[in-house]
Amino acid sequence: MKKLQNYVTGQWLEGKGEGVPMFDAITGELVALSDTEGLDFAEILQYGRTKGGEVLRKMTFQERGNMLKSLALYLTKRKASFYELSYRTGATKVDSWIDIEGGFGNLFANASLRKLFPNQPYHVEGDAIDLSRGGRFMAHHIMVPKRGVAIHINAFNFPVWGMLEKCAVNWMAGVPAVVKPATNTSFLTEAVVREIIASGILPEGALQLITGSARTILDTVESQDVVTFTGSATTGRLLKSHKRIIDEAVPFTMEADSLNASILGEDAVPGTPEFDLFIKEVRNEMTVKCGQKCTAIRRIIVPQNLIDDVQAALGKALDKITIGDPRLKEVRMGALVSKDQVTEVRERVQELAKTASIVYGDLDKIETIGADAKKGAFLAPILLREDQPFSNIAVHETEAFGPVSTIMPYKNLDEAITLAQMGKGSLVSSIATYDDKIAKEYVVNAASHHGRILVVNRDMAKESTGHGSPLPYLVHGGPGRAGGGEEMGGMRGIKHYLQRTAIQGSPTTLTEITGIYQQNAKYKEAEQHPFKYHWEDIQPGMSMKTHNRTFTDTDIINFSNLTWDHFYAHTDITSLDGSIFEKRTAHGYFIISAAAGLFVYPNKGPVSANYGLEECRFLRPLYHNDTIYVRLTCKQKVDRDVASAEHPSGIVKWYAEIFDANNDEKVAFATVLTMVQKKQEVFVEMTEDKINACLSALKEDMKPKWGIMTPQHMVEHLEYTYKIASGEIQDFEIATPSTILDKVHNSLWNYDKFPKNSQFPQLEKDTLEPLKHPDLATAIEKFKAQREKYIAFFKENPEAKLKNLVFGELNKYESYLLERKHLNHHFEQFGLL
């Protein structure tokens, strides 16, 4: 029988024992064996800390984010094979989509967070703090990657999402991971990890996988490691109290199953959209993943006068749930993960039924479609009713981790809040109400006991992700029984794997450490105007001082007339008595505009656009006849993604200080953002001399570095594309699908090379077209003549747009971009560049 392998210390290894069997939840058939016997967990953890950690820590947040994005795209293209395995865990297609594509989505979401971090390996948090009156001693906080490994001990219910929602966060922080999935479903986790490793996208050591028992893995954890656990509260508390965790003060995040509650507002009576939404939400949470969700609704808290209505409506909704083989379209609910889990859930239901009544479903009866109920781990949805929830507390303490929930009454909102709190902490609660006063009262008073609260109403229903859906940008965790931990949460989650350190020193020193210019730091005088530099060449602290400008009375009046800003301080000097103003006062925005006039470089250059203002302060009024100058200093650089029709660029934040020229007093300041182009250092410019030099070096017997073209085929191909570019050939349809045409078109503007072996639409794959010219020399002459026609066409028609087979309509400049990329591609193919 197949044994799952463990990916550790850079290799796939089988355990040396007999292995633990894993079974198909639908058919009961043996799927694989799990075995970790013989693995050295201390060696595995140390390998992650060194091999993977050293590489990840040196990467910038931008590089890590792009790595996650590439991995998400890679896995998405291979998702079909994962669905087949997911069905064997008992999951339906919808269940599998949540697990598989939800996991990939987590990679995408965390990848996008790179935009919120600096373009360096560590983060600078918050604002600088002045520790001295003179401004020469200050402090800041930086956050650097921990030098340990993230150890993820995951539950069985989400073998893909459970891994990726955690790993995405620690990878973004620059920390490697060792993943220990639950044995029951680890065969699906292993399949995904195999693809991740095969992709080569992650640095070696960034991910290790242990597919079976790892009882001693915590014995060698160190203070720089982080442990996360998802599973039962009992097991979580046991692991959290491990002597090594305590001795080394290892951060331990626990996300435990909890008795999540959903409340029906008193206004949400039958016939309202909120009542219907509530019923739908409860049914979904009972049946999606067979109720095997840490966020599923276990307690249904409803007004006592509506309990019968809710019970009847839920019964009708559950009647529509079909159970069986999850591969069948007509099946709405699959199986629990194993027969052991069925036994566990049945026992918990029997405990609850000592005081509560089973009002829907039967533990001993089940009808299945396309599957044998006796062979699979099937269980029908069970709805209980507890009429005395304040005295019968089992419903607040006992969780049946399956398609089970209990309905209970409340008299008023205070009672509903108390009942929700009696669960002693949960991951999520929800309330269905269209009364925002009820919503506020519940949220404010229940928030202390829940990690997340969803307010359900008709306005948000179509776009809501639902009660049970944790989201990458929100914290996932909860107090008390839920474990007291937090996962995900956007930047918050990433910071969990970073060490926050306060740093103190001079503004100049802290500028160098943080990569952000700090006030009162020494300026680095620019050798030329800062707007002449490309993004790569601008550094924090780079600065220039402008010449002076004097404000006149006419300037202020004209600005009022231009903007229609006729505030009395600018226009009515007879009304200044009792105000803070002494004379006609310059508008604040005129001061900023005048400052821009002083520091902006007028000629075309790398600075491509004004991106906005982040802060702006006016420290005292400026009057007519006052004279100012500006000190412009690079404060910070922020990388950015470019997907539209523009060249790669980054954002530069400029600290603009405005001074009174008479006494050098700072009177205003602003942080101005500009979009600055990056250098183009990938492609050789295709001048006529360069093209001639390349063609002169081209010989008939040259072999390509890739592809099957001969030198003459390459030249004739280029000649043909110049016929398209000059308008000589336009009787064709654009081959690129319209759904991606904009993306493909915009790629001309980036600095990425064409992929090797790119397929030209009109050429048959792996087949050479018949040659059109007698020899290479003739082909080169024809190529040059056709290029002259291309140049002449746009000289005579500078505003023209012509179709291209791949990139759609191109103007003159875009045709130049295509020519540069295309010639570089083929000249490099034959070693001419």
Q: Which residues pair with 581 in a beta bridge?
A: none
- Whether residue 165 lies in the annotated active site: no
Do residues 630 and 544 touch, judged by C-beta distance below 8 A?
no
Write down how long the chain is.
833
Q: Which amino acid is at 530?
A: P
Burial 215-241 (b: 16+ CB within 10 A, else e): eebbebbeebbbbbbbbebeebeebbe
Sign of CA pseudo-dihedral 23, 27, 30, 33: negative
The helix/strand/coil state of 116 is helix
Which of these, 178, 192, 169, lies nearest to 47 by C-alpha position?
A: 178
Do residues 293 and 285 touch, judged by C-beta distance below 8 A?
yes
Do residues 647 and 607 touch, judged by C-beta distance below 8 A?
no
How far is the C-alpha of 714 from the C-alpha of 698, rounded, in Å? 10
Choose, from 190, 255, 657, 819, the residue flagged as catalytic.
Answer: 255
Q: Which residues pair with 407 in a beta bridge?
A: 300, 385
Per the structure block, which two tokens stand in for 364? 């001993």
How far is the C-alpha of 653 from the C-alpha of 634, rounded, in Å? 6
Q: Which amino acid is at 139?
A: A
How far is the C-alpha of 92 from the C-alpha of 458, rounded, in Å? 28
- Burial category of 623 from C-beta neighbours within 10 Å (exposed 0-12, middle 13-18, buried 19 and up): middle
Which of these, 731, 585, 787, 607, lies nearest to 668 by C-alpha position?
A: 585
- Whether residue 255 lies in the annotated active site: yes
Between vectors from CA 143 to CA 138 and to CA 147, what angle results, nearest 5°?
135
The residue with tokens 């928030």 is 447
Beta strand pairing call for 808-810 and 802-804: antiparallel
Q: What is the DSSP string of 487-538?
A: EE-THHHHHTTEEEEEEEE-HHHHHHHHSS--TTPPPEE-SS-GGGS-GGG-
How far is the C-alpha of 130 from the C-alpha of 132, rounded, in Å? 6
Between vectors from CA 346 to CA 340 and to CA 347, what angle results, nearest 5°?
90
* DSSP element (H, E) containing 298: strand 297-303
Per the structure block, which two tokens stand in for 179? 């993943």
How far is the C-alpha of 111 from the C-alpha of 93, rounded, in Å? 26
Do residues 75 and 170 touch, judged by C-beta distance below 8 A?
no
The helix/strand/coil state of 48 is helix
HSE-CB at 215 with a 13 A cutoff on CA atoms is: 3
The helix/strand/coil state of 393 is helix
- Burial category of 457 from C-beta neighbours within 10 Å (exposed 0-12, middle 13-18, buried 19 and up): buried
Choose, from 294, 487, 634, 657, the residue flagged as catalytic.
Answer: 294
Q: How many Å from the N-terminal Cα to the C-terminal Cα in the chain?
A: 54
Per the structure block, which two tokens stand in for 167? 């790993």
Beta strand pairing call for 260-264 and 297-303: parallel
How far is the C-alpha of 521 from the C-alpha of 534, rounded, in Å? 23
How far is the C-alpha of 79 from the C-alpha of 93, rounded, in Å? 12
Chain mean position to CA 399: 33
By annotation, the residues acting in catalysis are 255, 294
